[in-house]
Amino acid sequence: MMMKNITTMLVLLAAIGFSIQATAETVSSLRGATEINQETSAPAAKHYNKDHEPIPRDYVQQPPLIPHKITNYRINLKSNKCLSCHSWANYRESGATKISQTHFESRDKNVLANVSARRYFCTQCHVPQVNAKPLVENKFEPVPAISGQ
Amino acid sequence: MNKKNTKECSDMILCRIWQALKKPSVTYSLGTLLVVGFISGIIFWGGFNTAMEMTNNEEFCISCHEMEDNVFQEYKQTIHYSNRTGVRATCPDCHVPKEWHHKVVRKIQASNELLHKALGSINTREKFEGKRLELASHVWKAMKDTDSRECRNCHNFEYMDFVEQGRRAVKAHSEGLEEGKTCIDCHKGIAHELPDMHDVDPGSSIGEI
């Protein structure tokens, strides 16, 4: 009985101590320590990476990343700038990776004569990269079947 | 008719002017005629050129709403309007030749554009989009025929440093140079939106869904 009381006391003390410590710390938001009535300084603008070799995939289903800038590349119903190099008609001349055959399938797996409307807007899945460091530490590694290691 | 019979044409005004022009001057000395002719030549020539230059700037081009509301708005999103170094290519830099005689030819062709302005051929966005392929094709053909002359006022294969270029640009430019390609062969739609490309390059447009 005595033993149980002491344990309860200790737990309570620890809880109080912890809560005091917690209230001593200020809440940190994405703004950082800047007061709400002051303007924060804008972070440096990110720049898109220059042309480089294709970036290896990290997992099987990953849409391949775009290894070049796509600034001002328009994709609309009238034209698709990506496909002016990556289409089956043009990939040989441009030396670009050709668009996957899976992109010609409708939702019901019917094969179409041209790129399927649901796969037409490339940047829904394929994205270029900027010079940004990961915000949190990340130890993700692709499985050996992908990385070969 | 005027030349054939000089006596019979005393009533006709054109004929009388012609007679006066043909007669040697009796009142004015040759020096006066030369000086007056020289000075008025400068004034007329200068005036002509000034007038032509007045129609050769962006402000004039976008004084028509067809240009300001469509192509100019699109151009403002592109690298020829806003970029790292602040160098700009305005409408006439790409669309009007720099050499005098090509420029005059283009200015005369522009009278057709004035006609269509009056007819209202592209006075709405819908009409403009409807004609965009035809209009763009004209510009592509002109560029192709002149070996992209207006591009080459600034851009030139000879002065390109392939070392500084990206991986894709080196490949495309060195191959293009070898094959004798011209800028517009690849660089379509760099300053304005493209028309519906389904008929031009079926692979790069979804066409009718």
Q: What is the mean pLDDT of chain A?
A: 84
**Domain contains A143:** no
Q: Are B18 and B2 in contact (CB under 8 A)?
A: yes
**Domain contains A11:** no
Q: How far apart are CA B70 and CA B73, in angstroms?
A: 6
Say yes or no for a CB contact (<8 Å) between B203 and A94: no
Say yes or no for a CB contact (<8 Å) between B206 and A120: yes
pLDDT for res B126:
94
Q: How confident is the model at residue A31 (pLDDT cuts 50, 70, 90)?
A: confident
Q: Counting one residue from A and one from B, how many pairs have CB atoms under 8 Å apart? A: 69
pLDDT higher than 80, residue B160: yes
pLDDT higher than 60, residue A18: no
SS (H, E, C) B175-208: HHHHHCCCHHHHCCCCCCCCCCCCCCCHHHCCCC
Q: Which of B168, B206, B208, B209 to mutate to test the interface with A (most CBs of A within 10 A)?
A: B206
**Domain contains A126:** yes
Q: Is the dihedral of CA A104, A106, A107, A110 positive or negative?
A: negative
Q: Single out the residue of A92, A97, A90, A116 nearest to residue A105, CA to CA.
A: A116
- Per the structure, the count of domains in chain A is 1
Grouping H, G, I as helix, E, B as strand and the rest as coil, residue B80 is coil
Q: Please give the residue of chain B at the shortest CA–CA distance from A83.
A: B204
Q: Is the dihedral of CA B112, B113, B116, B117 positive or negative?
A: negative
Q: Single out the residue of A128, A146, A27, A67 nearest to residue B168, CA to CA.
A: A67
Q: Which residues does chain B have within 8 Å of residue A79's beta carbon, measured at their own beta carbons?
A: 189, 194-197, 201, 204-205
A17 CB neighbour count, 10 Å cutoff: 10
CA B13 to the chain's CA centroid: 39
Helix orientation angle between B100-119 and B30-54, rounded to the nearest 10 degrees? 60
Q: What is the CATH number of the domain that holds A64?
A: 1.10.1130.10
Phi, psi (rounded to 5 degrees) for A4: -65, -40
pLDDT higher than 90, residue B18: no
Q: Are B150 and B94 in contact (CB under 8 A)?
A: yes
pLDDT for res A21:
56
pLDDT for res A23:
54
Q: How confident is the model at residue B17 (pLDDT cuts 50, 70, 90)?
A: confident
Phi, psi (rounded to 5 degrees) for B4: -65, -50
Range of the structural domain that residue A105 is part of: 48-134
Q: What is the pLDDT of residues B118-128, one digit of tens each?
A: 999 999 999 99
Q: Please give the residue of chain B at the shortest CA–CA distance from A69.
A: B166
Averaged pLDDT, B98-114: 93
pLDDT for res B2:
46
Q: Which of B204, B208, B209 to mutate to test the interface with A (most CBs of A within 10 A)?
A: B204
